[in-house]
C-alpha cells in the first residue's frame, strides 16, 4: 500500500514501523503503541487515491517457436499475452521446454518463427527490451560484495538515485524481510534468501515484466508461500504493477496465485487454465492405505477409472461430480488421508 502511494513520507513511516515491529519483544509490552502507529499509517493511506496502471498489455507472443540445432527438442508454436497485473504460471515436467519458453520471452533466445511485441515500448531496441524485462534464472548468478551494495547499485542503474535510492532499498529490504541480512555477503546466506535478494534486486530495477525460472526450487514451504504472496501483491500493485511469468514444479502453489497456467509437454502447450472449454470429467487425487482393488470396489465398474502414480490414486469420472466421488469414499468407509480436486488443475496431466 505504501509503495502504491508513491509518497516518500509514507514509505519512511512504513519502514520505521516495520523496523519497530521486527524488534518488538512481547515482554516489553510495546504492542499497543505499535498498533496505534500502524492504525495511523493505515488512516493516512485510506485518504490516498493511487493512479491505476492495471491491464496495460506488456507482451504479445505470436506463434513463437524455437528449435535447437543438433537437438530433437523443439518448442512448438505458441501464443500468449501478458498485461500488467497478470501472473502466468508455466508448468510441465523437466526437459519439456519451460526454460526455453521463458528465455524466448525474455529475449535471450532467438526465435525460429513468430514474433514478440512489447506494446509499452515504442521503437525499442533489444537493450531497452532487456532493461524492461527482468529474468531470474533457476541458478542465480553469484553476487559479489555486500548484499546491500548490490541492491543500491541495481536501483541506481535503474535511475533511482540519491535519497530515493536509500529509501527504496530500505523499503525493499523491509518488504522482503531482508534487513537483518543486508550487510552480509552471498556466501553467508541460504539459497532461499539468495532468491529473495535476487527478487529484491530485480524489483528495484523496476521491470515491467518479471520472468522467474523455478523460483521456488530452493525454498522451504514457508518461504515459498511468502515469495508467492509477494509476487502476487507486486504484480497487482496499483502504483507499479507488473506482469509476472514463472515456471515451477509446485503446481498447486503456482495455481493458487497465477491467473493463467500453461502446461507444457514435449514443447507444446497442452492446456491452459483460462481455456473456456469445460472439462468433461472430474479428477481427484486421493491418498489412502487400501489397495487399488478395494478402492475400485467403492465405485461401479463404469463410473470411474483409477490410476496409481506411486503416491496417490487418481480417480477420474465422467458421470460423477467431485462431491459424489467424495461421498462414495466416505460411505464405503475408505480411510482417506488426502483428497484434492484436480479437475481444473494441470496436475491431472502428469
Partner 1 sequence: MPSNKRFLAPGFLNRLDQWLLIHKPETWSARTHLVLYYGGGFLLILGLLAFIFPDDPRTDSGVFNWVLFTSVITLIALVVWLIYLLRFNVFKRFGITKPLNRLKAFILYFISIGIILLISFIESGVECIKANRAFGDEEMVNDMNKMNMIITQLEYDSLNHVWGRDTFRIVDTIPAVAYTPPPPSLPPGYEEFTVDTAAVVILDSEEESQGIRLMDTATFNKSIRSGDSTQKLDDSTFIFFTCPTYIFVNNYRLEQFSSAKLYESADVYKAVVKDFKVPDKLKLNTEIEHLIAKYSDPNYRYYTSERRDYTYVMEKKYQIDKVESGLRNISVRKNFWRGSNIEIIVRVFFYITISLSLLVFIFRHSTVKTFFLTLLTACVICLLTALFIALSNSRATGLLFSMIFYFVCFLGISLMAWQTRIRSVAVGIGINLFVAMLTFMPMIIVGFAYAVYDESRDYNQVTEDNRHIWMFIAEIAGPVILLMAIPTIIHKLYRRWYALPEN
- Binding-site ranges for partner 1 (CB under 8 A): 69, 104, 107-111, 125-127, 129-131, 144-146, 148-150, 152-159, 161-162, 165-166, 183, 205
Nearest to 208 by CA among 80, 49, 86: 86
Shortest CB 56 distance to partner 1, Å? 21
- Comparing CB distances to partner 1, the nearer of 131 and 232 is 131
> Closest CB to partner 1 among 110 and 277?
110
10 Å CB burial of residue 228 (0-12, 13-18, 19+) is buried
| Cβ atoms < 10 Å from Cβ of 210 | 24
Instruction: Give the shortest CB-153-to-partner 1 separation in angstroms.
Output: 6
DSSP annotation of 7: -
Per-residue burial over 142-178, b if 16 or more Cβ lie within 10 Å, else e, is: ebeeebbebbbebbbebebeeeebebbbbbbbbbbeb
Closest CB to partner 1 among residues 98, 148: 148
Burial letters 233-249, b for 16+ CB under 10 A, else e: ebbbbbbbbbbbbbbbe
The least distance separating partner 1 from the CB of residue 130, rounded to whole angstroms, comes to 4
Nearer to partner 1 by C-beta: 7 or 146? Answer: 146
Q: Smallest distance, Å, CB 198 to partner 1?
A: 13
CA atoms within 13 A on the CB side of 99: 13
Cβ 246 to partner 1 shortest distance, Å: 20
How far is residue 31's CA from residue 19's CA, in Å, rounded to a whole number? 13
Instruction: Select 76 or 146, whichever has its Cβ closest to partner 1.
Output: 146
Supply φ then ψ for residue 27, to 5 degrees: -70, -20
Query: Among 239, 173, 234, which residue's Cα sits nearest to residue 5?
Result: 239
Closest distance to partner 1 from the beta carbon of 161 (Å) = 5
Which CB atom, from 145 or from 323, has the smaller least distance to partner 1?
Answer: 145
Amino acid at each position: 500500500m505504501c509503495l502504491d502511494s508513491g509518497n516518500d513520507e509514507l514509505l519512511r513511516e512504513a519502514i520505521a514501523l516495520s523496523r519497530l515491529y521486527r524488534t518488538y519483544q512481547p515482554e516489553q509490552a510495546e504492542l499497543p503503541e505499535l498498533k496505534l502507529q500502524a492504525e495511523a499509517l493505515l488512516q493516512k493511506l485510506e485518504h490516498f487515491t493511487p493512479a491505476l496502471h492495471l491491464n496495460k498489455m506488456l507482451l504479445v507472443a505470436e506463434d513463437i517457436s524455437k528449435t535447437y540445432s543438433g537437438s530433437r527438442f523443439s518448442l512448438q508454436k505458441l501464443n500468449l499475452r501478458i498485461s500488467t497485473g497478470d501472473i502466468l504460471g508455466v508448468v510441465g515436467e523437466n526437459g519439456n521446454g519451460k526454460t526455453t519458453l521463458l528465455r524466448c520471452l525474455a529475449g535471450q533466445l532467438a526465435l525460429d518463427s513468430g514474433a514478440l511485441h512489447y506494446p509499452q515500448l515504442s521503437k525499442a531496441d533489444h537493450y531497452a527490451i532487456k532493461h524492461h524485462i527482468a529474468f531470474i534464472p533457476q541458478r542465480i548468478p553469484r553476487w559479489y560484495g555486500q548484499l546491500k551494495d548490490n541492491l543500491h547499485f541495481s536501483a541506481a542503474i535503474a535511475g533511482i538515485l540519491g535519497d530515493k535510492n536509500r529509501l527504496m532499498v530500505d523499503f525493499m529490504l523491509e518488504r522482503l524481510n531482508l534487513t537483518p541480512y543486508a550487510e552480509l555477503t552471498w556466501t553467508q546466506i541460504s539459497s532461499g534468501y539468495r532468491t529473495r535478494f535476487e527478487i529484491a534486486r530485480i524489483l528495484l530495477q523496476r521491470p515491467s515484466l518479471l520472468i522467474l525460472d523455478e523460483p521456488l526450487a530452493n525454498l522451504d514451504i514457508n518461504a515459498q508461500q511468502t515469495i508467492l504472496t509477494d509476487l502476487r501483491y507486486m504484480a497487482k500493485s496499483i502504483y507499479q504493477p507488473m506482469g509476472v511469468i514463472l515456471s515451477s514444479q509446485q503446481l498447486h502453489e503456482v495455481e493458487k496465485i497465477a491467473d493463467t497456467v500453461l502446461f507444457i509437454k514435449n514443447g507444446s502447450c497442452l492446456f491452459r487454465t483460462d481455456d473456456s472449454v469445460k472439462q468433461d470429467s472430474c479428477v481427484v487425487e486421493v491418498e489412502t492405505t487400501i489397495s487399488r482393488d478395494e478402492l475400485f470396489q467403492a465405485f461401479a465398474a463404469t463410473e470411474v477409472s483409477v490410476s496409481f502414480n506411486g503416491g496417490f490414486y487418481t480417480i477420474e469420472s465422467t458421470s460423477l461430480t467431485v462431491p459424489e466421488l467424495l461421498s462414495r469414499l466416505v460411505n464405503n468407509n475408505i480411510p482417506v488421508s488426502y483428497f484434492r480436486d484436480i479437475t481444473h488443475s494441470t496436475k491431472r496431466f502428469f
